[in-house]
Amino acid sequence: MNTKVTSRHFKAHETLNEYAEQAVEGLSRYYDGILKAEVVLSFEKVRNSMKKAEVTVKVYNAVLMGLAEADQFEKAIDAAVAKVQVQLKKYKERMHAHDRSKVRKVREKE
């Protein structure tokens, strides 16, 4: 899975980037057909320095997104990943209900 971490309007520390990558890679336990993942970190100085994390995961025929705000980046990342995790479980249930031959073809191409 390709994971990209972007920080808006600030330079994120390497440990924060690694934390975000590990959190997103943990999603592969729930669904192994994740093609690409992106994490966008930002904060707003105006509102009590609230940190935002936006996690976008691309799977076959869908894009799943979770957005969370917290007082620390780690909490925001965990909350956003949890939202995407719920979406992944629902997506996986829908895929099992339908014919999986299309998903198998996509995996064979990679």
CATH number of the domain to which 37 belongs: 3.30.160.100
Domain limits for position 42: 2-109
In the chain, pLDDT over 70 holds for what percent of residues?
Answer: 86
pLDDT tens track for 82-101: 999 999 999 988 877 766 66
Mean pLDDT of the chain: 87
**By the 8 A CB rule, do 53 and 59 touch?**
no
SS (H, E, C) 72-105: CHHHHHHHHHHHHHHHHHHHHHHHHHCCCHHHHH
**By the 8 A CB rule, do 77 and 22 touch?**
no
Q: What is the pLDDT of residue 37?
A: 95
What is the tally of structural domains in the chain?
A: 1
